[in-house]
Amino acid sequence: MSKKKVLIVGGTGYLGQHLLQGYADITGRPYDLAFTHRSSPPPQVLLDAISGSLAFPVDLKSGSGFEAISKTFGQPDVVVNCAAISVPRACEHDADAALAINVPSSLVKWLQRFNEKSTLLIHLSTDQVYEGEKSFYKEDDVAVPVNVYGKTKVEAEKFIIEQCSNFAILRSSIIYGPQTISPVPKSLPIQWMDGVLSKGEKVNFFHDEFRCPIYVKDLVAIVLALTNQWISEGKQMQLVLNAGGPDRVSRVQMAEAVAQFRGYDTSLLQPVSASSVDRGVRSPADISMDISRLVQTLKIHPIPFEEGVRLTLASEAK
């Protein structure tokens, strides 16, 4: 029996690399893997680690590159779309580019050339679709984003719901965890906090912005569970799930967890209001999420934030 095919769009990014590793580590390697990348060539260290996976350069704005996937890899059974301009300030600076990349129109049009019902599209959205005026948003709450990034991700969700018949949309919070096989250039939240606190100097952290950060391997487990459900049952899904961790934390509370694990002096943490800093973009105050639908649907319980910090920093020490 031929192996099922999985395509990771944005496979060289932080989540993309962790997903490739997660699929490749499954006993028996039941999936043929391919991934897209924007920068050429893809990192050799990643290709070596995920041996047998195919890499394709793809321009998500124009869709160029998808034809090569059709010819060499064929129709994927599962596509996980991690590609996005996800830095809110960058989205404010170039709203057109953010819309072109974050709404996966070229990807969906390509999938529609196949028997579209035979492919599950798992799309990464964001907690920033929510307005941030209350705690523990549910999936059915109206999405009222306050910045361009959130608006482009809402547009992406609408586009997928209208155009696709088989999809799962994951509204992810801050993703944290160990560094990737090929280190990504962007700073990782826990590692950054560890780095600044290790200097023994006072650091400002917001006390009035709340998120439900999710440990990267929990997010990988969620994607693998959706993949397995589709492959084993073959039932089309039309799911929107909050994909956050179980804890509502501010940046100060996040930094406290790092400080406590490392034994740093917690008096170094200086709580400040998010409104005291101009970041060039509006940021929602409280977009903590209710994840009960995720837990009920997939029987996955994301780990507490403190445990995720411990696992992240313990892995960095190796």
Read off the pLDDT of residues 19-50 as tens digits, 9 standing for 90 and up: 999 999 999 999 999 999 987 789 999 999 99
Q: Kindly tell me if the per-residue pLDDT of 72 is higher than 70.
A: yes
> pTM value?
0.97
CA distance 193 to 309: 11
CATH fold of the domain at 4-179+213-245: Rossmann fold (3.40.50)
Neighbour tally for 219: CB within 10 Å: 27
Classify 295 as helix, strand or coil.
Answer: helix
Question: Which secondary-structure segment (H or E) carries 222?
Answer: helix 216-233
> What does the DSSP 8-state code read for residue 242?
E
Sequence spans of domains, the chain? 4-179+213-245
What confidence category does residue 182 fall into, taking pLDDT thresholds of 50, 70 and 90?
A: very high
What confidence category does residue 309 fall into, taking pLDDT thresholds of 50, 70 and 90?
A: very high
CA distance 92 to 85: 11
Which residue, among 136, 271, 154, has the nearest Cα to 211 in the 3D structure?
136
End-to-end CA, the chain: 39
Q: How far is CA 6 from the centre of its chain?
A: 17
CA distance 107 to 200: 47
CA distance 45 to 67: 26
* DSSP assignment string, 91-130: HHHTHHHHHHHHS-HHHHHHHTTS-GGG-EEEEEEEGGGS
Angle at 184 between CA 168 and CA 288, to 5 degrees: 45
